Chain A
Amino acid sequence: MFLLPWLAGFFLLTLGPTLASLVLSFTNFDLIQAPRWVGTANYERIATADAKFWRSMWVTFLYVIMSVPLKLAFALGVAMMLNRGIQGLPLYRALFYLPSLLGASVAIAVLWRKLFAGDGLLNQFLAMFGFEGPSWVSNPDYALYTLVVLSIWQFGSPMIIFLAGLRQIPQDMYEAASLDGASPLRQFVKITLPLLTPVIFFNAIVQTIDAFKAFTPAFIISEGTGGPVDSTLFYTLYLYQEAFGYLRMGYASALAWVLVVIVAVFTAFSFLTSRYWVHYDD
């Protein structure tokens, strides 16, 4: 009874459209005429005749590979600093978390664009030291990196989780290690990292799935084009173009399902390997 609103929402707004998109992925559908059944033609085209699919896949893959490890490393670094028992911890925690709240918003992406533009703040700063920076967002060689940096800047939520994970490690492990003469580095490598692997694993999965789905920043920074020269053509951006730019709903649905499968395969693979590197105690 009390679940009804949630159930209604789930079936009407989540499960319904999801299943509909699965059906649509086997059709041609332009929102105007009725969907026309085409069998697996959409999937065949994705696999064989769509250079942009591979391009967007590659861009997304690069983004995931770069942003996730860097973001996690940064989040862990800040969490370890905060874990050293400084005063005003709640304040710092909130401040560091702030970018994550703002980061996904359109406003910040616009701000980011200004920051890294040809006459943006970064270049003005560099100019003070006599460097003349390129327009980071409009140079195909750098545009993706600005998005990676934007993603790292949103390290708040993995940081909070790391902080909670660090708190779980009993202090006497470190005391025992220091009696054994282990340096802080050795303590980090031999104790902190292994005991944190469940949290690292969780963060890695969540952040990777998030990164695969990243859309807003690329959309804003490239003004919806995925440019310059498709250098920021994220998979979801390409999907969006197909769906709402060219009104190829059937094809876009097929793209969406390919992404679902890719993420599912990645996640399954992560879980399979996890038992070789994730330590759960008790």
Chain B
Amino acid sequence: MARVDLETVFKRYAEVEVIHGVDLTIDPGEFVVFVGPSGCGKSTLLRMIAGLEDISGGTLRIDGEPMNDVPPAKRGIAMVFQSYALYPHMSVYKNLAFGLETARMPKAEIEKRVRAAARILQIDPLLELKPKALSGGQRQRVAIGRAIVREPRLFLFDEPLSNLDAELRVQMRVEIAKLHKDLGVTMIYVTHDQVEAMTMADKIVVLRSGVVEQVGRPLDLYNRPANQFVAGFIGSPKMNFLNASLRSASGQGASIALNGRGLDLPGQRAAAPGPVVLGVRPEHLTVTPSPGAVALGDAKVVIVEHLGGETIVYATLQDGQPVTVSLQGQRDVGGDSAIAVYADPATCHLFDATGASLRA
């Protein structure tokens, strides 16, 4: 179990700076997910921790020791690659044993560790096969097995599930989470899929353009996004953003105007009046009046998706702003019909012109 500290870490390629001073602490045994859109620097950050990329500035510590100049093999880490990076000319056994043989471990110990890892991942019958004979899911297991046998203090995963089909992805997600529970080792996991992040992480790090936007537990990010970017990134379907104007915000609550209607939101900090963005998650909207809910206005239905367990309604408000409503169960909402949209102000978010949350 390792503790990882990033102290104002920078990454520059010649003139271009891609990581802009990241500060982050990862506690021993934590499962941390780096999430963000492509190009946000999450993989680069992971590769810097692995030692595959140089650190241009700042300090990386693992268990308190500076690691900037320590070669990858000496950092006590193991990494699972997106492409799996299995050696195609070696059997599964040889793939698992390669790192241990490189470290000149006794044969008996290698055999013991490989068999143990194979048992954990249920790949014992595959040990003599070459990677090309394996399915995607089996290759994924071998790639994880190669990390396990090294008994690292830190596991790194670089988008390990993105080459799998949806069903396998869910299955492997559960298995990796279980592996983390069983081994208790610190894990850092990179993905662009917010569902993976929400389901697996103890702590999520949301990145955008080389900057950490927010760090927190999954539900904290969901309930209290620090800014509009995080609010839109976490949660599916995406949070609705409606343009509104702030009439007053005293520190106790805020009063806004949306579509000509007044709306009072509790728990917002003081701010100057001006344009703001009202954020409401689709699952927090209803089409029937309910206690505590206030009307946001009438809307015209554009498309309805019936998923069985839920019904997703895409509509436009009177002023033309699109709004998505996610309703529990199977609802009879017709296309082209008019609906009224209601929201509980307690579940609403306000973002100022810079995108920062106004939540107190």
B322: interface (CB < 8 Å): no
In the complex, chain B residues whose CB is within 8 Å of the CB of A172: 81-83, 85
In the bound complex, do residue B132 and residue A181 qualify as a contact, i.e. CB atoms below 8 Å apart? no
Kindly provide the distance from the CB of A178 to the nearest chain B CB, expressed in whole angstroms. Answer: 5
Asked if B85 and A176 sit within 8 Å, CB to CB, the answer is: yes
* Overall SS of chain A's interface: helix
How many chain A residues sit at the interface, stated as a range, is: 20 to 34
A76 to chain B, nearest CB (A): 17
Nearest CB in chain A: distance from B168 CB, A: 19
- Report which residue of A172, A180, A194, A281 has the largest number of chain B beta carbons within 10 angstroms of its beta carbon: A180
Residues of chain B lying within 8 A (CB to CB) of residue A166 = none
* Cβ contacts A248-282/B at 8 Å (1 or 0 each): 00000000000000000000000000000001011
Cβ of B88 < 8 Å from any Cβ of A? yes
User: Are B81 and A178 within 8 A (Cβ)?
Assistant: no
- Closest A-chain residue to B74, C-beta based? A181
- List B residues 77-92 near A (Cβ within 8 Å): 77-79, 81-83, 85, 87-89
In this assembly, does A195 line the interface, its C-beta being within 8 Å of a C-beta of chain B? yes
Q: How far is the CA of A190 from the CA of B77 in the complex (A)?
A: 21
Task: Flag if B88 contacts A179 (CB, 8 Å).
Answer: no
- In the assembled complex, the Cα of A170 lies from the Cα of B81 at a distance in Å of 12
Q: Is B108 an interface residue (CB 8 A)?
A: no
Closest A-B pairs by Cβ, 3 of them: A181-B73, A180-B99, A281-B88
Given contacts A178-B52, A179-B79, contact A195 B88 (CB under 8 A): yes
Q: Map CB proximity to A onto B98-141 as digits: 1 under 8 Å, 0 otherwise.
A: 11001100000000000000000000000000011000000000
- Apart from the given pairs A180-B73, A182-B102, 13 other A-B contacts in the complex at a CB distance below 8 Å: A176-B85, A177-B98, A178-B71, A179-B51, A179-B78, A181-B73, A191-B87, A194-B89, A195-B88, A281-B88, A281-B131, A282-B88, A282-B132
- A contact residues around B77 at 8 Å (CB): 179
Whole-angstrom distance between the Cβ of B145 and the nearest chain A Cβ = 13
On whether the beta carbons of A179 and B50 are closer than 8 Å, the reply is yes
B126-162 interface with A by 8 A CB criterion: 131-132, 146, 150
Q: In the assembled complex, how far is the CB of residue A96 from the closest CB belonging to chain B, in whole angstroms? A: 28
Contact among A180, A195, A197, A281 with B102 in the assembled complex (CB-CB below 8 Å): A180
A23 to chain B, nearest CB (A): 47
**Chain A contacts of B51 at CB under 8 A?**
179
Q: List 27 A-B contacts (CB under 8 A).
A: A170-B85, A172-B85, A175-B72, A175-B85, A176-B85, A176-B87, A176-B146, A177-B102, A178-B52, A178-B71, A178-B73, A179-B51, A179-B52, A179-B77, A179-B78, A180-B98, A180-B99, A181-B74, A181-B102, A190-B87, A190-B98, A194-B89, A195-B88, A195-B89, A197-B89, A281-B132, A282-B88
Do A186 and B102 touch across chains, with their CB atoms under 8 A apart? yes
Contact of B89 with A279 in the complex, beta carbons under 8 Å? yes
CA distance A70 to B88 in the complex (A): 28
Which chain B residues lie closer than 8 Å to A175 at the CB level? 52, 72, 79, 81, 85
Q: Is A173 an interface residue (CB 8 A)?
A: yes
Q: Which residue of B lies closest to A278 (CB)?
A: B89
Is B72 in contact with A178, judged by CB distance below 8 angstroms?
yes
| Contacts of A176-209 to chain B: CB distance below 8 A | 176-182, 186, 190-191, 194-195, 197
Task: Check if B81 sits within 8 Å of A281, measured CB to CB.
Answer: no
Q: Is B73 within 8 A of A173, CB to CB?
A: no
- Please encode chain A, from 164 to 176, with 1 for each CB lying within 8 Å of some chain B CB and 0 for all others: 0000001011011
A179 touches B89 (CB 8 A): no
CB of A70 to closest CB in B, whole Å: 25
Proximity string of chain B (40-82) to chain A, C-beta cutoff 8 Å, 1 when within and 0 when not: 0000000000111000000000000000000111100111011
The 0/1 profile, CB within 8 Å of A marked 1, for residues 299-343 of chain B is 000000000000000000000000000000000000000000000
In Å, the complex CA distance between A279 and B89 comes to: 6
- Known A-B contacts A279-B89, A282-B132; A179 and B98 likewise in contact (beta carbons under 8 Å): no
Which residues of chain B come closer than 8 Å to A195, judged between CB atoms?
Answer: 88-89
Q: In chain A, what residue has the closest Cβ to B147?
A: A179
C-alpha gap A177/B131 in the complex (Å) = 16
Of chain B, the residue at the smallest CB distance from A191 is B87
Residue among A170, A177, A195 with max Cβ neighbours from chain B (10 Å): A177
Q: Which residue of B lies closest to A195 (CB)?
A: B89
Q: Tell whether, in the assembled complex, residue B85 and residue A181 are in contact, meaning their CB atoms are under 8 Å apart.
A: no
What's the Cα separation between A61 and B102 when bound, in Å?
A: 39
Name the CB-closest residue of B to A282. B132
- In the bound complex, residues from chain B placing their C-beta under 8 Å from that of A181 are 73-74, 99, 102-103
Q: Which residues of B contact A180 (CB under 8 A)?
A: 73, 98-99, 102-103, 150
* Contact residue among A176, A186, A191, A194 (Cβ-Cβ distance under 8 Å from B81): A176
Contact A173 B72 (CB under 8 A): no
What's the nearest-Cβ distance from chain B to residue A25, in Å? 44
Could you tell me the distance between the alpha carbons of A178 and B77 in the complex, rounded to whole angstroms?
11
Complex CA gap A14/B233 in Å reads 68
Whole-angstrom CA separation of A182 from B79 in the bound complex: 15
List of B residues within 8 angstroms of A197 by Cβ: 89
Bound Cα distance A176, B52 (Å):
10
A262 to chain B, nearest CB (A): 31
Q: Which residues of B contact A176 (CB under 8 A)?
A: 79, 81, 85, 87, 146
Q: Distance in Å from the Cβ of B258 to the closest Cβ of chain A?
A: 50
Please, how many angstroms separate the alpha-carbon atoms of A186 and B79 in the complex?
A: 19
Given the interface pairs A190-B98, A194-B89, A281-B132, the reply to whether A179 lies near B72 with Cβ below 8 Å is yes
Interface residues of A in 226-246 (CB under 8 A from B): none
Say how far B157's CB is from chain A's closest CB, in angstroms: 13
Shortest CB distance A184–B (Å)? 12
For B50, the chain A residues whose CB sits under 8 A away are: 179
| Closest-CB distance, A107 to chain B (whole angstroms) | 44
The residue on B at minimum CB distance from A175 is: B52
Q: Which residues of chain B are near A170, meaning CB under 8 Å? A: 83, 85
How long is the Cα–Cα vector from A172 to B50 in the complex, in angstroms? 13
